[in-house]
Amino acid sequence: MLPTIAWKNGMVVMVDQRFLPLKEKYLTLKTVEQVARAIENMVIRGAPAIGIAAAYGLTLGVQHLRPGVDIDKEFSRFYQRLWQTRPTARNLFWALERMKKVFEANRSQGLPAVKKILLSEARAIEKEDLEINKKIGQYGQKLIPDGATILTHCNAGALATAGYGTALGVIRAAFARKKKIKVLADETRPFLQGARLTVWELVRDRIPVTLITDNMAGWLMQRGEISLVIVGADRIARNGDTANKIGTYSLAVLAKEHRIPFYVAAPLSTFDFNLSTGKNIPVEERNPDEVRKAGHQFITLPEVPVKNPAFDITPGRLISAIITERGIIEKPYAGKLRSSYP
Ligand code: MRU
């Protein structure tokens, strides 16, 4: 299993995803601030993984509190800091809210008990995420025909979760069932999660993968070289509108034109049941230098204005089905996506 994040001896250890696949470097984090920066700077990324990191970050802060401090004030400071790290993925807020509920329910038991309880809740979030991914894989693989060529975008794999992955979980489950599949990985400009992370994961698992640039999908679909598209999600509204890595929407439009199934795989912790549509999902705008540079090297004029939205929103009507840990939901989604689903 790939090492995304772990709690070790009162510290948070994570693989620094910015260096993959060239270097496998691990960071040991000791403070809430370090975890918050790791999320902001993409040391760890992917919706479920940043939720887990935030849960461990809160735990870390509380572990180091000394008797006599104002626990409520400190907890709220840690909570606010982590809340502000990245705006789009619902899982971050879901995990923080879950931890807060547990904190409030057990607060009266005193600091030593609260420390233990928060650690076990963060561990539960991590463990459950892995189980959920396996279930998504089991359901989702039914949608993958033997012999399929699957296009995926960004990285919705083990590195984006507690392990196994959502979209890559479906691919792993299909491969484990001996289906003869091939994966096309979009490089995913500008941060190159596809080229760096998805390729790395699939090569490690010996799943056949070919890297393509983001602008090749239309041509390959037109030539009949893609059987289906599967991606992960950062936030899903009640009508199925889905925020995911920039470029996802273009793929969904292309898939419709070529009558190719377009699937989203995501845990229920990615759903925002307060939103009826995707219109109000906040889309993160990241540092323009991510676009101006490849690695540390400028590839354009350093002063050129740049747009760098990290996500886009794909209308639910373009998504053939959403795969969750409770099963496959087919479009139309209106009335089907509720917290009590199914
Ligand atoms: O900016 P990132 O790398 O955090 O974006 C990640 C994605 O868009 C993933 O597709 C999404 O979080 C799903 S991960 C299971």
pLDDT at 328 (0 to 100): 97
From first to last of its 342 residues, the chain has per-residue pLDDT tens of 456 999 999 999 999 999 999 999 999 999 999 999 999 999 999 999 999 999 999 999 999 999 999 999 999 999 999 999 999 999 999 999 999 999 999 999 999 999 999 999 999 999 999 999 999 999 999 999 999 999 999 999 999 999 999 999 999 999 999 999 999 999 999 999 999 999 999 999 999 999 999 999 999 999 999 999 999 999 999 999 999 999 999 999 999 999 999 999 999 999 999 999 999 999 999 999 999 999 899 999 999 999 999 999 999 999 999 999 999 999 999 888 887 555
Domain extent listing, the chain: 5-134, 138-340
Strands 228-231 and 149-152, how do they pair?
parallel
Catalytically annotated residues: 234
pLDDT at 2 (0 to 100): 52
Return the residue whose CA atom lies nearest to atom 10 of ligand 1: 232
Contact 202, 168 (CB under 8 A): yes
In ligand 1, the atom with minimum distance to the C-alpha of 167 is: 15
| Length of the chain (residues) | 342
CA pair distance 163, 170, nearest whole angstrom: 13
CATH top-level class of 5-134: mainly alpha
CATH topology agreement for domains 5-134 and 138-340: no
| Cα 132 to Cα 115, 137, 166, 288, 325, distances in angstroms | 26, 9, 9, 35, 5
In ligand 1, the atom with minimum distance to the C-alpha of 166 is: 15
CA pair distance 17, 154, nearest whole angstrom: 13
CA–centroid distance, residue 234 to ligand 1 (Å)? 6
pLDDT at 340 (0 to 100): 59
Q: pTM higher than 0.85, yes or no?
A: yes
Q: Which helix (H) or strand (E) holds 129?
A: helix 111-140
- Please name every residue paired with 264 in a beta bridge, in sequence order, or none if there are none: 231, 322
CATH code linked to domain 138-340: 3.40.50.10470
pLDDT at 338 (0 to 100): 80
Ligand 1 contacts (CB < 6 A) are 45-48, 89, 154, 156, 160-161, 166, 193, 231-234, 244-245, 310
CA–centroid distance, residue 287 to ligand 1 (Å)? 17
CA–centroid distance, residue 207 to ligand 1 (Å)? 21
